[in-house]
């Protein structure tokens, strides 16, 4: 494909994309294809000769779109938001054109340096403690773009593990294998599955601590767990607190986690994958009180800040801990500026990385601070609007405080099975898509505000779906 072919193809794709996104409301939000639908729609092998791009375009509606669940649909209320935006898509085009592999500074200094500065921009936007900013910590701390929050949790765990092994080894002379077998980490039973997974992959125990009525781990529970484990000869070394859980958007008390982790010498990582974006707004920063006591912090601009996946922003207060964990030397990797600049391969699990900071730069500049704040505030206001509709109806109860763009609710005085039937009925009607959770054993429906196209009318539509289905199933009252 030559340059002219690319421009024609790209223009046609932009037409397709704008028609897709601007007309997305007309589509069915959840795909209803059967498993295995796609294989029979396309050939079984790579074609011998190249095909025309026009033939590829023709297949998008035939092959791909029937199997797409539309995350950008205004009535997609499942999981949590997955961002996209036009500036971000254009930035990714440039990223693909430059196609540098930024494993070290020399491979394209702009790739590393724009990332350092964008992470400072983002950190300032959230008013993170200065220890996390490269520009304010003289490069001791700093930010890095990971692929996903799950990677950030795992990266922090691996660095904490390496740190703990070094420390315990020097104090006790025990060997690595023995120490790994005795390491123990802590998180709440409300944490995302990827936190438990990080423990498993790291080969260490990850205790899921029970939560109180606010879905928080209390000081007592955390302290008792640590004391108990120490008395068993285990080595507590790492804790993950969540700011905005996937289940209900609950916030751990970072003061509680922070104080105990400092006292007991545990690495505290804060997973704010979804809700961290809200700290761009002053009025929500009370929820991150205690963040100065954390060693690492992460949130996903690719969830709620208009930036396409993959863009998971992670900060650490001491980058040396990452470098000591991940760095391995090779002659072909050396360069003249080593030591003066980060080589980001040593801040992450994979070796290669692309020029992801371009997305952030484009998005932060073209939207600006005010529009980003407005995007957050709009979603939260919509969630409260939906909450009010439910409460006014009288048949529903809200099972967790609505703090961000997520409403968790259920039919009052109805069993888990009845609530599950309600959810299934609504999803089968096909107008909106939601998934469930459980709160203290009670089945609840999660209604998340996800798309930037979601508006007030969609709260009415969503409410109507639940209200009508509830009436059909259980009568008006």
Q: Tell me the catalytic residues.
A: 192
Q: Which of 25, 27, 28, 90 binds its own copies (CB under 8 A)?
A: 90
**Considering beta carbons, is residue 158 or 288 the nearer one to its own copies?**
158
Tell which positions 164-183 bind its own copies, by CB under 8 A. 175-178, 180-182
| Site for its own copies contains 350 (CB under 8 A) | yes
> Which of 127, 220, 227, 349 lies at the binding interface for its own copies (CB under 8 A)?
349
User: What residues between 299 and 338 interact with its own copies by CB under 8 A?
Assistant: 302, 308-310, 325-326, 328-333, 337
Which residues within the stretch 241-300 sit at the binding site for its own copies (CB under 8 A)? 246-247
Q: According to CB under 8 A, which residues from 436 to 465 bind its own copies? A: 436-438, 446
State the sign of the Cα–Cα–Cα–Cα dihedral 284, 217, 443, 149: positive
Residue 96 vs 393, nearer CB to its own copies: 96
Interface characters, 19-48, with its own copies (x: CB under 8 A): -xxx-------xx-x-xxxxx--x-xxxxx
Kindly report the backbone phi and psi dihedral angles of residue 271, in degrees, each rounded to the nearest multiple of 5, phi listed first: -100, 105
Q: How many residues bind its own copies (CB under 8 A)?
A: 151
Please report whether residue 82 would count as binding its own copies according to CB under 8 A.
Answer: yes
Nearer to its own copies, 27 or 384 (CB): 27
Please report which helix (H) or strand (E) contains residue 313, including its range.
strand 312-316
Does 125 interact with its own copies (rule: CB under 8 A)? yes
64, two tokens: 């791909």
Q: How far is CA 333 from CA 103, 248, 273, 457, in A?
A: 9, 45, 32, 55
Q: Judge residue 316's burial from the number of C-beta atoms within 10 Å of its C-beta, 0-12 exposed, 13-18 middle, 19 or more buried.
A: buried
Q: What are the tokens at 387?
A: 């909450």
Tokens of 315: 């900060």
Q: Which of 119, 132, 164, 192 lies at the binding interface for its own copies (CB under 8 A)? A: 192
Q: Which of residues 373-432 bind its own copies (CB under 8 A)?
A: none
As a dihedral over the C-alpha atoms of residue 421, residue 30, residue 248, residue 462, rounded to 10 degrees, the angle is: -70
Of residues 262 and 438, the one with the C-beta less far from its own copies: 438
Binding of its own copies at residue 208 (CB under 8 A)? no
Task: Return d(Cα 267, Cα 293) in angstroms, integer.
Answer: 10
Concatenating the DSSP letter of every residue in 402-471 gives --SSEEEEEETT--HHHHHHHHHHHHHHTS-B-EEEEETTEEEEEEE---TT--HHHHHHHHHHHHHHHH
Minimal distance, residue 263 CB to its own copies, in Å: 25
Least distance (Å) from its own copies to the CB of residue 53?
6
Determine, following the binding rule CB under 8 A, whether residue 5 of this chain makes contact with its own copies.
yes
* 8 Å CB contact between 147 and 310: yes
């Amino acid at each position: 494909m030559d340059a002219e072919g690319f421009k024609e193809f790209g223009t046609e794709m932009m037409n397709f994309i704008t028609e897709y996104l601007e007309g997305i409301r007309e589509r069915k939000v959840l795909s209803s294809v059967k498993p295995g639908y796609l294989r029979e729609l396309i050939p079984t092998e790579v074609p011998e000769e190249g095909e025309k791009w026009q033939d590829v375009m023709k297949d998008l509606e035939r092959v791909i779109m029937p199997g797409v669940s539309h995350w950008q649909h205004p009535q997609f209320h499942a999981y949590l938001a997955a961002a996209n935006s036009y500036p971000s898509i254009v930035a990714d085009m440039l990223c693909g054109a430059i196609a540098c592999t930024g494993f070290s500074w020399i491979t394209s200094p702009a790739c590393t340096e724009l990332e350092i500065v964008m992470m400072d921009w983002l950190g300032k936007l959230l008013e993170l403690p200065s220890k996390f900013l490269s520009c304010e910590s003289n490069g001791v701390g700093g930010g890095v773009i990971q692929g996903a929050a799950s990677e950030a949790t795992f990266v922090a765990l691996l660095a904490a593990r390496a740190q703990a092994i070094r420390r315990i080894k020097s104090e006790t002379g025990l060997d690595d294998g023995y120490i790994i077998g005795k390491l123990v980490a802590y998180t709440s039973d409300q944490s995302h599955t990827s936190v438990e997974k990080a423990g498993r992959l790291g080969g260490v125990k990850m205790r899921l601590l029970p939560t109180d009525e606010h879905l928080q781990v209390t000081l007592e529970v955390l302290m008792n767990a640590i004391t108990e484990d120490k008395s068993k000869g285990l080595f507590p070394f790492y804790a993950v607190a969540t700011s905005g859980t996937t289940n209900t958007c609950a916030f751990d008390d970072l003061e509680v986690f922070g104080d105990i982790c400092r006292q007991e010498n545990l690495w505290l990582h804060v997973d704010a994958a979804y809700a961290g974006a809200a700290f761009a707004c002053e009025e929500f920063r009370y929820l991150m009180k205690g963040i100065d006591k954390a060693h690492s912090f992460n949130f996903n601009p690719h969830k709620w800040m208009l930036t396409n996946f993959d863009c998971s922003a992670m900060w650490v207060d001491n980058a040396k801990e990452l470098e000591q964990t991940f760095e391995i030397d090779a002659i072909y990797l050396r360069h003249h500026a080593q030591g003066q600049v980060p080589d980001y391969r040593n801040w992450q699990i994979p070796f290669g990385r692309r020029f992801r900071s371009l997305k952030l730069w484009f998005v932060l500049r073209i939207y600006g601070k005010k529009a980003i704040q407005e995007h957050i505030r709009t979603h939260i206001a919509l969630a409260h609007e939906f909450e009010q509709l439910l409460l006014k109806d009288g048949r529903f109860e809200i099972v967790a405080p609505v703090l961000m763009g997520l409403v968790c609710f259920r039919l009052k005085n109805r069993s888990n099975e009845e609530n599950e039937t309600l959810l299934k009925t609504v999803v089968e009607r096909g107008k909106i898509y939601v998934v469930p959770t459980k709160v203290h054993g009670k089945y609840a429906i999660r209604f998340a505000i996800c798309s930037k196209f979601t508006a007030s009318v969609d709260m009415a539509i969503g409410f109507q779906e639940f209200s009508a289905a509830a009436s059909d199933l259980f009568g008006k009252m």
